[in-house]
Copies of this chain bind each other. A is one copy, B any other.
């Protein structure tokens, strides 16, 4: 365990360079308005002493941290099992890094963690927060609002009383779902089932709504709620097959769900797409391309969503420092989706 040596301070650098603390500070922060010879001397001293500014001290006065929290409200860390988060995080990470901001990942495993997260955000460790995967009854948004931290949400939050000034980035879930179902209809299918996602999330609700937009008076038995997991897809598919053995297509709420459905369909002796056509959602490559047959699905650019979330937040922060702001407050964005045809439908 590396031992921790006492770090040199601004003071020390100033002494060594024979200048004042103020001058060192200026040089360290870009060196504008300091004459070249001095800049040189200070740089040298910094180098020799291995000086690194103490961020706590700096933040205390600037009220800036150049760090952004990413809060993942997924209980039981399904987080990493699901490539979805990975991609989104990656987009976020890239954008933040490009703007020299640090990503601080806050995982919440359960109820108890909420308080801790609230404390952390309110404690002024970060300049803003990116929040994900909210469920309808989640206490997190309230906590965050109280913490008074600028926030951008991933996915449309589903509170009833839509609060002012909430910014989010979402996919056009409803439109994408419509495209998927229309595609199945275009294939001549008529008994089109839907395996929904967990309906306490807006993405699941929106996709279901899109399905209903097209299948205006669908047989209610053709709709089963899943949970966005392969296991849930299997369960739902079994249920559907039992209820409606005559179904000829399935629109699954995401690719993971579709992969489970595919497995059950195969077990039951159905051929895909001949007997039953299947469409997923997400176009999660590792999943959609590996299934048998490869999955026709609705693509959303997940990494871009992440990047965009970060960008909106940072823009909002800049606006903050720039007083009443030249630019308008950032507003929510809904990204388009595209249907990707493979072999399953």
The B-contacting residues of A in range 189-212, CB under 8 angstroms, are none
Contacts of A102 in B (CB 8 A): 104, 106, 120, 125
A60 within 8 A of B: yes
**Copies of this chain in the oligomer:** 2
A50 within 8 A of B: yes
| Shortest beta-carbon distance from A301 to chain B in Å | 16
Contacts of A107 in B (CB 8 A): 89-90, 93, 103
Of listed A56, A67, A119, A165, residue having the most chain B CB within 10 A: A56
Contact of A165 among B2, B56, B113, B329 (CB under 8 A): B2
Contacts of A20 in B (CB 8 A): none
Contact of A77 among B90, B144, B167 (CB under 8 A): B90
**Residue contact A86 to B97, C-beta cutoff 8 Å:** no
The B-contacting residues of A in range 204-232, CB under 8 angstroms, are none
**Residue contact B123 to A53, C-beta cutoff 8 Å:** yes
A238 to B146, CA, bound (A): 58
**Residue contact B125 to A109, C-beta cutoff 8 Å:** no
Of listed A55, A65, A97, A122, residue having the most chain B CB within 10 A: A55
> Quick check: which of A148-156, A170-178, A180-188, A239-247 contacts chain B, the rest being far away?
A148-156
A105 within 8 A of B: yes
A74 to B342, CA, bound (A): 32
**Residue contact B97 to A52, C-beta cutoff 8 Å:** no
Contact string against B for A residues 76-100, beta-carbon threshold 8 Å, 1 for contact and 0 otherwise: 0101110101110110011001001
Contact of A54 among B113, B123, B313 (CB under 8 A): B123
Instruction: Contacts A1-B165, A77-B90 given; indicate if A146 touches B50 (C-beta within 8 A).
Output: yes
- What are 26 inter-chain pairs, A to B, with CB distance below 8 A? A1-B151, A1-B152, A1-B167, A1-B313, A1-B330, A2-B148, A3-B148, A4-B148, A5-B148, A52-B122, A54-B60, A54-B123, A56-B59, A56-B60, A67-B125, A77-B89, A77-B93, A79-B86, A80-B86, A80-B90, A81-B83, A81-B86, A93-B109, A97-B116, A103-B107, A105-B105
Contacts of A312 in B (CB 8 A): 1
**Residue contact B151 to A2, C-beta cutoff 8 Å:** yes
Contact of A144 among B2, B83, B116, B123 (CB under 8 A): B2
A135 to B102, CA, bound (A): 23
